Amino acid sequence: MRSSERIGPAGKGEIFAWCWYDFANSAFVTVVITVVGGVFFTRTICGEASWADFVWGLALSVSAIGAMIAGPFLGRWADRRASKKPALLGVTLVCVIGTALFGLGKWGVEGAVAILVVANSAFLLGENLVASFLPELAEPGQRGRVSAYGWAFGYLGGLISLGLALILLRQGGESATQQVFFMTAVFIFVASLPTALFLRERAVPQALVQVEPDWKTIWRTVQANPNLMTLLVGLTLALAGLSAVVGFASIYATKEIGFTLEGTVKLFVCLQVAAAVGAMVTGRWQDRRGAKPVLMWALGLWVLVSVGAWWSRSAELFYIVAVGAGVGMGWLQSAGRAAVAEMTPVGKEGECFGLWGFAGKLAGIGGPLAFGGVAALFGMRSAILINGVWFLLGGLLLGRVKLGDGKLVVEPRG
């Protein structure tokens, strides 16, 4: 129980400040993980070795393991001490420093992998922590649109960071690519300042008397909220497919479709615009109809995207596939986060979004690792088609989740 009542919901200005974090961290996942980082790692650092794709996928998976294990415990710690914001700022600085160091490209394969693992783990933990503020920022029935505002603004941040990356890449040469990483680090730091300055910590410290280990408390939360757990398992399966696409999209576009690095950046500009539109549309849709229709339509669209990417042989057709992927990404991510917020008990925001992060990071392990393994055995074109199975499996589970009209009933805590 809380020792006192929390402050009321946030005003528009504070919600906007919260959205700035999505704006900031989208630069990392878009530029470093999705567009430039994979190609820079496999070509420049690994010299286009045959094992480079697998090592890239392995590094993403290892970083996801670290964040997956740490997430619920960090969330539990932040809940008890009302310290979500200090934790958020700490992991953000780690991500910023790691991004700048990775771009130097002088650490060798082992050093580059280590830096990537730390930076990506910090990024993933930051996702958990900023999402855990959502139940405090808006009332039930309004969280869908608030989550959507954040995702849409985040895609805008990804779009702007891609534009800056494109300007730098036009200079040509390895030094231009390295400058992209430094630019991204500065972008994340500056864009996250509104969150650091204006987002309020509404939680109050809980009693610090430890009656049982944290892992037992977290396990009790899992047992007491079966509907939430079904949602998280379904999201895990769906996000496994999404994580694979994010991790390998630039490599697939260059190897299978024939895009240049600059062309890949332009492709992802198109994807970011589509994702922002998709996220904005999904907010009010979810608040009116509930999360289930949004999630199921998103997964159906992702199955079509998987088939379309496998079928594509031209840049023109692949652009159409990218638009579908962007819309589906906006729907799936925004609606999934808001649905978890509706099921989160008061006082367990950090813990429950740590579990949400656990689901996403588990997906980040299985998706890229499976994709890399299948690509090594059967080729990337077969891997992109098989990747669609994740979305089918996710739909089977999410179809069983009891979701309402945006005013979900929180299950009793054990």
pTM check: above 0.85? no
Q: Tokens 């990417």 map to which residue?
A: 309
Helix (H) or strand (E) holding 48: none
Cα gap 287→39, rounded to integer Å: 39
Largest CA distance in the chain: 62
The pLDDT, as a whole number, for residue 6 is 54
The pLDDT, as a whole number, for residue 414 is 38
The pLDDT, as a whole number, for residue 64 is 83
The pLDDT, as a whole number, for residue 125 is 95
The pLDDT, as a whole number, for residue 180 is 92
Tell me how far CA of residue 243 lies from CA of 9, 138, 388, 394, in angstroms: 32, 28, 12, 13
Q: Are 202 and 349 in contact (CB under 8 A)?
A: no
Q: Are 46 and 55 in contact (CB under 8 A)?
A: yes
Side-chain-side CA neighbours of residue 365 (13 Å): 15
What domains can you pick out in the chain, each with its CATH number?
A: 12-201+223-398 (1.20.1250.20)
Cα gap 408→3, rounded to integer Å: 25
Q: Mean pLDDT per 10-residue run, the chain (414 residues)?
A: 54 92 92 84 84 85 88 91 92 96 87 94 94 86 86 87 86 79 96 95 71 78 83 92 80 79 76 83 77 86 88 81 86 87 84 90 83 83 86 89 57 42
The pLDDT, as a whole number, for residue 185 is 96
**DSSP state at residue 45:** I
Question: Helix crossing, 261-289 with 143-169: angle to 10°?
Answer: 170
Q: What are 55-77's pLDDT values in tens digits?
A: 888 888 888 889 999 999 999 99
The pLDDT, as a whole number, for residue 406 is 47
- Distance from chain centroid for Cα 332: 11
Q: Are 158 and 271 in contact (CB under 8 A)?
A: no
The pLDDT, as a whole number, for residue 28 is 94
**Helix-strand-coil percent breakdown of the chain, rounded to 5?**
80, 0, 20
